[in-house]
C-alpha cells in the first residue's frame, strides 16, 4: 500500500504560514515514506475562488521547493 498525503487549499486568498507548514509537513511525510504528495484545489466556493489565488498557491508551493503529482486535483470535478 502506498503512503499518500495531500494539501487541499481553497484559492480564496493568499497562503499564510499555517498553509506553508501544513503543505511542507505533508510533503516531507510523503517523501520520507516513499509515497505520493497530492495537491487538491478546494474550488467549491464559486463566489470567492479566484484563478489568481490558485496561481499564487502554485507559485508559493514551488518557492518552498515542493513538487506534486499532476494533474492537480480539483474538488469541483468530484461533486
Residues 18-59 pLDDT 10s:
999 999 999 999 999 999 999 999 999 999 999 999 999 999
The structure's pTM equals: 0.90
Strands (E), 1-79: 4-7, 36-41, 73-74
User: What does the pLDDT average to over 55-74?
Assistant: 97
For residues 8 and 48, give the distance between their C-alpha atoms in angstroms, rounded to a whole number: 16
How many C-beta neighbours within 10 Å does residue 61 have? Answer: 22
* Residue 79 pLDDT > 80: no
| pLDDT score at 51 | 95
Does residue 1 register a pLDDT over 90?
Answer: no
Residue 78: its pLDDT value, please?
Answer: 85
Amino acid at each position: 500500500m502506498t503512503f499518500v498525503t495531500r494539501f487541499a487549499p481553497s484559492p480564496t486568498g493568499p497562503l499564510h504560514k499555517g498553509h506553508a507548514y501544513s503543505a511542507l509537513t505533508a510533503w516531507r511525510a510523503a517523501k520520507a515514506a516513499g509515497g505520493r504528495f497530492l495537491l487538491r484545489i478546494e474550488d467549491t466556493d464559486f463566489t470567492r475562488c479566484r484563478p489568481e489565488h490558485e496561481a499564487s498557491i502554485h507559485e508559493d508551493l514551488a518557492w518552498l521547493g515542493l513538487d506534486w503529482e499532476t494533474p492537480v486535483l480539483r474538488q469541483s470535478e468530484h461533486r
